[in-house]
Structure 1
Amino acid sequence: MRPAPWITSLPCLLILLCAGLPATAFPVASATAQSQRSLTTQIDAIIRQPRYAAADWGIAVVSLDSGRMLYSHQSGKLFQPASTAKLFTAALTLSTLAADYRIPTRLLSAAPVRHGRLDGPLLLYGMGDPTLGTPGANPAWADDLAGQLAARGIREVRGDLVADDSYFAGPQLGSGWEASDLLGWFAAPASALSVHENIVALTVTPAANAGQPARLSFAPAVATPPLADTLTTAPAHAPDDINLYRAPGDPLLHAFGSIAAGTPPHTYRLAIPSPARQAGEELRAALARHGMRLRGQLRVLHWPERDDALRADAQTLAEVLSPPVAAILAQGLKRSQNLYLQNLLQIDGISAQAAAAGQPDAPTGFLSSEAWGLHALHDLLGRIGIAPSSVLLEEGTGLSRGDLATPEAMVRLLQYLAAQPWAATLRGMLPVAGVDGTLERRMRDGPATDRVQAKTGSMAHVHSLAGYVTTANGQQLAFAILLNNDERGAVEPPASGDIDAIVQLLAGWRGTD
């Protein structure tokens, strides 16, 4: 999910403090449709409001019981889906990987161990775990790996420590990700060697007196980037003017402007430019804590660099495992965590590439891990019966504005998912209206509460919601609601309120299909 657009006064990668959005707009009391005709009339009234004259709505609602379309508005037209595109990646992952598969992160070496010395380089090899270092998922991963080395009697490494993220072939940024997003946490690099979700938290605190430098602190501290800081403290009650900028491809973070004295600290979550280096630094510190001496340097190996000799005949000296893929996917959908879904797409792609080896119809030439994942997704959609022209995805998260899908294709996907043996598992991974995930604060009152499981999506001028609803008389519906080209006026309520009002109508419906 991409948050509301940053307020900027300079081009790309400049972040200022953003205001939150109010919760809902359309009255829930209207959710009383008794027939399909009245349902259609009430939905039409919502989407035909004058404020949406220049916007585009695409809606499809299907009964899972009969398969009949209950409501359709431009359902065959392509729309930007935002994070509802994650449903496609989820379908591919559940069809490709075992739900209990755990992604390894390994320490490898082909060098001999003699008298407590590893006589050669040590390779920290990532295989796509996006949860490494997060609470509940190996938060002490570096000490765990170092402890396993120490248990082997290793006290010295006579070689470099190589942090290798080349397991994923291709750029670390998803296709179509915009330069203006790349400093934000939601566009963190999708690396095969990820740590702390590839995010560092920056807290800006004013000094006691105007004119003094503001204080910047980073968590974790080991992730503090190179910094050019001229942020100062302004007089009390002055407007804050906090500016953060990092040029694409440059690790240097510029911080300038001012924060008013007496203002509470402001915290920003920023993308780490090189997750593999961050992981390597953390492991190097852990080796020292466990009494191991590293004679060499820390090196980072990124695609398209290769050093096959490092892995040739290498043995696994230590390993940590991710949570099961099902748990990773659930977190990725509940929280709309882009890193999780983009990494899973690339793992799916590596699996598809291995399965295609030697097949006469296999793609030729170089394909990135992302492209292999999308190739596998297109094959899956073909088996489902979804036309390739109705789903045009560039990456696995919905962050690209080049991602396009029709509401009809999304509902067809939801129908397919509902018929799978793991349908209940997938439905439990989705945010629940008024209860958890990205729907926790939405539809807290009314018939939709706790009866809707759906994936949210939002970008500038794009709002979407797709999933399942149980109606007032127990019918099961699948729906996709996509709103594009929406410009909200300064005093107008957010479009999410009108989307929620449509879902409330579906949840309160007592008619038959």
Structure 2
Amino acid sequence: MRRWRATMTGFAMREGRGGTRMKTNLRRGIGLGIALTLGTIGPMMRGYAQPPLRTVRELERRVEELLRRPEFATTRWGILVESLDRRRVLLAREADQLFTPASNMKLYTTAAALIRLGPNFRFRTSVYVQMRPDERGHVEGDVILYGRGDPNLSTRTLAGGYLTPFFELADQLVRAGVREVFGDIVGDESYFVGPRLGLGWEWDDLQWYYGAEVSALSVDDNFVDVILRPGEREGDPVRVILSTPSTHVTVINRAVTAAAGTPQRIELERGLQDNVLEIRGTMPRDSLGYRAAVAVHHPALYAATLFREALERRGVRVHGRAVAADWKVRRERPLDLRQMIELAAIESIPLSEEIRVLNKISQNLHAEILLRVLGAEVKGEGSAERGLDVLREFLQEIGARTSGVRLRDGSGLSRLNLVTPAATVDLLRFMDRHEYGAIYRESLPVAGVDGTLERRMRGTPAEGNVRAKTGTLAYTFTLSGYVTTARGERLVFSIMANHHTGEAAHVLSALNELCAMLATFAGR
């Protein structure tokens, strides 16, 4: 069995991957802030307070000066800036060359989903039985919790506690007369086909929330919050709190409380094929604590376990176990939903709201789910490859420049994605003039205001102006979106930096500065 280990110190998680590596989870408040890197780059911005740029030539010169700084000697830059109002190119640098987009891939996935599925599309999660309960409330056979990819089956949109969506389903079963189940609780994820991980993901992503396994039956973003607190006395075990608490995750706690003032060293290890979480290290008595978001293995089984626990808390006796069924199981034992009875169901928020969550916080799991739902709804197979077929056909239909472009996942976590600034601008331009353009634009982070841009570009003309999608992987930083100039001209841009092995703060500051330049541009 393969296992891996990561060592972390301090209270917050390390910077996350595939968006900004430490994302702010907007409504759960789980402390995965982006301050590690992004909070330090405001003072480093140079040039935004200078006089407005009045000609394209001045803009080109200032951009070239920025890109020639010593810290970018080995960095590859791809830039394309166009006027949406006049269809004129203002800046172009390697715009037709291929770059790793990181989370700029989410622009492609959410655009295709919005067009192909429509803004009112909703995900439905159902509970099926073979026979209705008898007069005693007995259900003979399995109770099937069937997922269709709802990415928000969690406390992010449902108030009242971690098991709220399952309590709602359990309450519906009780109202339908269910009192006792003589069978298993089956978490069915067979709506999706293929592996739960993306092509080109790295193994050291998989323990953390941003590399969570993809399932048609996902709950709480397929991770648990691990919260550590020091014990009362030196030598006491560190206190461990899991949210959501569940029997699905086993904790082996070897971490101990150390003397006040000593360094904190905490190690977490979760096997790639299990849910045994081992915690080691020391935490000083005066520590503020430690928090991490650890992905769970086999999400459908996790969901079935939580649902079984919710049923029991509602007074329904369950004689069977929590089990899971995927597409391979259903090839051997097909499930004909037309022959089943739906006793309970919940529906998600509309897609127009979901892509806002997805793009604002750069949620990898939601993007991967959406990719597979596209495959299921448009191509009849809920696989990543069929979803990518939908994306490719969509780009061809809108006339995007796709020569050489290679799409390998929906979130940008894959290191095998290759796109161009030109293709990205083509996509953004098309979406701007589409009837769903306002929904799409409003899903993007706003500089200095929210999402992954909340702490960036504050105090500059770009604040409250730039709407753009961020992207971050090792050595990769991207930003693509919309900005309005000082003269009110609307611009679309895509800026991609690859092979940057220097300080992340330098390149992030440069991206911010480039946006500020565009916002102050006063030329024609």
TM-score scaled by structure 1? Answer: 0.91
Rounded Cα–Cα distance in structure 2 between residues aligned with 1:482 and 1:223: 44
Counterpart residue number, 2:45: 26
Counterpart residue number, 2:99: 79
Counterpart residue number, 2:149: 128
Rounded Cα–Cα distance in structure 2 between residues aligned with 1:37 and 1:192: 51
- Among candidates 412, 417, 422, match of residue 431 of structure 2: 417
Q: Which amino acid is the alignment partner of residue 442 of structure 1? A: R
Structure 2 residue 12 is matched with structure 1 residue 14: no
Residues 301-312 of structure 1 mapped to structure 2, 5 A cutoff? 301-306=325-330, 307-309=333-335, 311=337
Counterpart residue number, 1:117: 138
Deviations 1:250-274 (A, max 9, x none): 2222211222221111111111212
- Among candidates 372, 375, 396, match of residue 382 of structure 1: 396
Q: Which amino acid is the alignment partner of residue 189 of structure 2? A: D
1:123–1:310: 8 Å Cα contact kept in structure 2? Answer: no
Residues 91-490 of structure 1 mapped to structure 2, 5 A cutoff? 91-115=111-135, 116-137=137-158, 140-222=164-246, 225-306=249-330, 307-309=333-335, 311=337, 313-354=339-380, 369-489=383-503
More divergent stretch after superposition (85-94 vs 146-155):
146-155
Structure 2 residue 60 is matched with structure 1 residue 40: yes
Q: How much does 1:210 deviate? A: 2.9
2:448–2:464: 8 Å Cα contact kept in structure 1? Answer: yes
1:102–1:322: 8 Å Cα contact kept in structure 2? Answer: yes
Structure 1 residues 198 and 480, CA gap change in structure 2 (3 angstroms): same
1:432–1:440: 8 Å Cα contact kept in structure 2? Answer: yes
Unaligned stretches of 5+ residues in structure 1? 1-9, 355-366
Q: How much does 1:241 deviate? A: 1.3
CA RMSD of aligned residues (A): 1.9
Rounded Cα–Cα distance in structure 2 between residues aligned with 1:446 and 1:290: 54
1:110–1:311: 8 Å Cα contact kept in structure 2? Answer: no
Q: Secondary structure at the match of 2:123?
A: strand
Rounded Cα–Cα distance in structure 2 between residues aligned with 1:326 and 1:386: 23
Q: How much does 1:223 deviate? A: 6.2
Rounded Cα–Cα distance in structure 2 between residues aligned with 1:184 and 1:309: 33
Rounded Cα–Cα distance in structure 2 between residues aligned with 1:254 and 1:486: 34
Rounded Cα–Cα distance in structure 1 between residues aligned with 2:167 and 2:277: 29
Structure 2 residue 496 is matched with structure 1 residue 504: no
2:232–2:285: 8 Å Cα contact kept in structure 1? Answer: yes
Deviations 1:175-209 (A, max 9, x none): 21111011111111121111111121111112233
Q: How much does 1:224 deviate? A: 6.2
1:132–1:138: 8 Å Cα contact kept in structure 2? Answer: no
More divergent stretch after superposition (460-469 vs 308-317):
308-317
Rounded Cα–Cα distance in structure 1 between residues aligned with 2:73 and 2:139: 69
Sequence identity, in percent? 35
TM-score scaled by structure 2? Answer: 0.90
Rounded Cα–Cα distance in structure 2 between residues aligned with 1:11 and 1:317: 40
Counterpart residue number, 2:24: none
Q: How much does 1:494 deviate? A: 3.2
Q: Which amino acid is the alignment partner of residue 276 of structure 2? A: L
Unaligned stretches of 5+ residues in structure 2? 16-35
Rounded Cα–Cα distance in structure 1 between residues aligned with 2:251 and 2:168: 31
